[in-house]
Amino acid sequence: MKLPIIKGIKKETAVSLLAVVFGLVAGALFMLMTGNNPFAGYAFLFQGGLMSIERIGNTLATSTPLILTGLSIAFAFKTGMFNVGAAGQMLFGGFCATAVGLTLNLPKPLLLTLMLIAAILGGALWAWVPGFLKARFNVHEVVSTIMMNWISYWVVYYTVPAYFKGEFLETESRKISDHASLKVAWLSDLFGGSYINLGILLAVIAVIVISFILDKTVMGYELKSVGFNRFAAEYAGVSVNRSIILSMMISGALAGLGGAALYVGNASNIQIGILPSQGMDGIAVSLLGANSPLGVLGAAIFFGLLYSGKGFMNAMTNIPPEIADTIIATIIYFAATSVMIEKFIDRIIRRKRGE
């Protein structure tokens, strides 16, 4: 269904855009309530993410893990699975990549390839468990992925200090060498010394590949059919159990890749005692992006902008940086209650028609 006011834009897009507007308005109200000027706040927030080529590079780098986790969760959603475990999958995937990067000494292209394969396999393995439990025993994936998050947390918590301890701190791994990093000189130079890295290219490739799988392949069609109606899909001859496991593994692989982008791209070591926040934010990204790969790309860059600008805003005003998280959370609430927004849009349409 198309809207008469903004022709050519799908209703889903309109809902997402309105959710963003409501989220920003809510953010402005919170700024006002705490005695700050919302116009100045937002001006600094967007300047912080965009005012120089270096900051734009940093914004894109901040968005990279979000694109991948958002894509991961969106892909699982398409098959009717809610993957709350992206945090654990990306942590374990990132840990595998770091472990390979710290252990092997190979030429950069070969080493990076192996590290990325390790990240993909690590993430896929971590998501295989909930996928298998769902397919075989009908264990609800929300609880099992949360359990897997904590298992991942503790595995990294104990393994990093035991085998990859940092030079100064017990709570982080050694730094990976330059040729085990996704950072490359030409890309950093292009963006004026930003920490942007090959991760962003990987993320864009992932977006293209996932759109292709979902829209142009039999496998994608089958996975989506399971998401729409698993009984109808089964009747039509789709192996539902196989689809569930496969979809979770691809989802986990994407999250694992996101872990590589975070720990061996944006950062150069892995911290223990923390689950990456991008796992939960990925849910927000996929919701706002209406589970479409292109939507995910747009939503992740927008959230990346909020995150990368919040430091500058905090430096220039008294607004705490958590406003960015608050805005994102509010956007998600509005996206989750999209029925309300749809009714609102319908009412506008009716008024335009003069009913």
Token pair belonging to 171: 């709570």
Contact at 8 Å (CB) between 207 and 285?
no
Contact at 8 Å (CB) between 330 and 26?
yes
**Closer residue to another protein, CB minimum distance, 157 or 221:** 157
Interaction between residue 280 and another protein (CB under 8 A): yes
Q: Single out the residue of 108, 140, 216, 352 in contact with another protein (rule: CB under 8 A).
A: 140
Interaction between residue 330 and another protein (CB under 8 A): yes
Q: Single out the residue of 60, 68, 97, 328 in contact with another protein (rule: CB under 8 A).
A: 328
Q: Single out the residue of 1, 6, 32, 143 in contact with another protein (rule: CB under 8 A).
A: 143
Interaction between residue 287 and another protein (CB under 8 A): yes
Contact at 8 Å (CB) between 125 and 252?
yes
- In the chain the first and final C-alpha atoms are separated, in Å, by 19
Q: Which range, of 61-69, 167-175, 292-300, 331-339, touches another protein by CB under 8 A?
A: 331-339
* Binding positions for another protein, 76-95, rule CB under 8 A: 82, 84
Distance CA 98, CA 7 (A): 48
- The burial class, CB within 10 Å (0-12 / 13-18 / 19+), for 209 is middle
- The burial class, CB within 10 Å (0-12 / 13-18 / 19+), for 345 is middle
Q: Which range, of 108-116, 146-154, 201-209, 240-248, touches another protein by CB under 8 A?
A: 146-154
Q: Single out the residue of 204, 267, 316, 329 in contact with another protein (rule: CB under 8 A).
A: 329
Q: Which range, of 2-10, 296-304, 315-323, 344-352, touches another protein by CB under 8 A?
A: 315-323
Interaction between residue 17 and another protein (CB under 8 A): no
> Total number of residues binding another protein (CB under 8 A)?
43
Q: For the CB of residue 285, give the shortest distance to another protein in the complex, in Å.
A: 12
Distance CA 291, CA 272 (A): 31
Q: For the CB of residue 86, give the shortest distance to another protein in the complex, in Å.
A: 12
Distance CA 336, CA 347 (A): 19
The β-bridge partners of 173 are: 165
237: alpha, beta or left, given left = phi > 0 and alpha = psi -120 to 50?
left
**Closer residue to another protein, CB minimum distance, 294 or 336:** 336
Distance CA 256, CA 258 (A): 5
Interaction between residue 231 and another protein (CB under 8 A): no
Q: For the CB of residue 48, give the shortest distance to another protein in the complex, in Å.
A: 17
Residues near 257 by beta carbon (within 8 Å), at least 6 away in sequence:
68, 93, 116, 119, 120, 123, 202, 206
DSSP H or E stretch at residue 331: helix 323-336
Interaction between residue 305 and another protein (CB under 8 A): no
Interaction between residue 332 and another protein (CB under 8 A): yes
Q: Single out the residue of 150, 163, 212, 228 in contact with another protein (rule: CB under 8 A).
A: 150
Interaction between residue 337 and another protein (CB under 8 A): yes
Name the site residues for another protein (rule: CB under 8 A): 30, 34, 82, 84, 129, 133, 137-140, 142-144, 146-148, 150-151, 154-155, 157-159, 280, 283-284, 287, 320, 322-323, 325-326, 328-330, 332-333, 335-340
